[in-house]
Amino acid sequence: MYNLLKGKKGIIFGALNEHSIAWKVAERAHEEGAEFVLTNAPIAMRMGELNALAEKTGSQIIPADATSVEDLENLVEKSMEILGGKIDFVLHSIGMSVNVRKGKHYTDPKYDFTTKGWDVSAVSFHKTMNVLYNKNAMNKWGSIVALTYMAAQRVFPDYNDMADNKAYLESIARSFGYFFGRDHKVRVNTISQSPTPTTAGSGVKGFDGFIAYAEKMSPLGNATAADCADYTISLFSDLTKKVTLQNLFHDGGFSNMGVSDAVMEKFE
């Protein structure tokens, strides 16, 4: 590979199994020379296969509920102990909608579920950065990346309240990113990824249709989880030091398309 992350240390949230984007990012970060800690919620760790990834990448696992400031403080402190210093990169790859899981329509949600969803999917990103910022845990020119989806800007009816969660996430990235950049020279960005068949994404009604439609609309086709990992590595590297406060579309060109020949053919 290119040794883009040689000597860099990080924390990767959200790897569950080999279909997870976070899993692919961990594999690529390891290939590029990084050391990192893996973390996920205790319940997700019981469901997933994180031990296999830790063994493959020579990483340690620290369980943490990303909605708990206390858990996040423990995670950051222990990560710096394990890695022997401050953090260079963080991936936030967390998203969950209880309304989606329970089949509640957007026009008739259970608001307790809504609150839980934005706490897990968006507010957890603020809490994570809050802990990193106040503990001065990031190295200068460090990079923090969260994963999002274009439903934050456009209507995808069955994406439900996850669209609102992602819009909130992107706003947090910009707002906290300003202070992190000004005070610690740390960059904060979101990657708006093509629809990707992860465990979380596959739970959305009509998700296969999303993927097929996006594939026909995108001049380069959909970006895979492995493609997203490559892009994420570039944002963790020193090659993107002045990129911050951006929502970066990684979708084969879908976000700038009105219609494609392939889609038009379906209606002619």
For tokens 């249709």, name the residue. Answer: 209
Q: Which helix (H) or strand (E) holds 76?
A: helix 69-83
What does the pLDDT read at residue 2? 96
Q: Using DSSP, state whether 225 is helix, strand or coil.
A: helix
What does the pLDDT read at residue 203? 62
pLDDT tens for residues 26-54?
Answer: 999 999 999 999 999 988 777 779 999 99
What does the pLDDT read at residue 201? 63
**Does pLDDT of 13 surpass 80?**
yes
> Other C-beta atoms within 10 Å of 219: how many?
11
Residue 201 DSSP one-character state: G
**Does pLDDT of 205 surpass 80?**
no
∠ CA 246-83-229, rounded to 5°: 40
What does the pLDDT read at residue 208? 84
What does the pLDDT read at residue 209? 85
Q: Residue 16's Cα: distance from chain center in Å? A: 13
What residue type is 210 in one-letter code?
A: F
pLDDT tens for residues 109-130?
Answer: 999 999 999 999 999 999 999 9
pLDDT above 90: percentage of residues in the chain? 90
What does the pLDDT read at residue 53? 96
Average pLDDT, the chain: 95
Closest CA to 170 of 93, 251, 68, 245: 245
Q: 27: burial class by Cβ within 10 Å (0-12, 13-18, 19+)?
A: middle
pLDDT-derived band at 213, boundaries 50, 70, 90:
very high
For tokens 């790859």, name the residue. Answer: 93
**Does pLDDT of 94 surpass 70?**
yes
Sheet of 247-250, strand order: 60-61, 35-39, 9-13, 87-92, 138-148, 187-193, 247-250
Q: What is the mean pLDDT of residues 190-211?
A: 81
Q: Which helix (H) or strand (E) holds 235?
A: helix 225-236
> Regarding beta strands 87-92 and 247-250, do their DSSP bridges make them parallel or antiparallel, or are they unpaired?
unpaired
pLDDT tens for residues 60-71?
Answer: 999 999 999 999
Q: Using DSSP, state whether 188 is helix, strand or coil.
A: strand
pLDDT tens for residues 151-186?
Answer: 999 999 999 999 999 999 999 999 999 999 999 999
pLDDT tens for residues 242-260?
Answer: 999 999 999 999 999 999 9
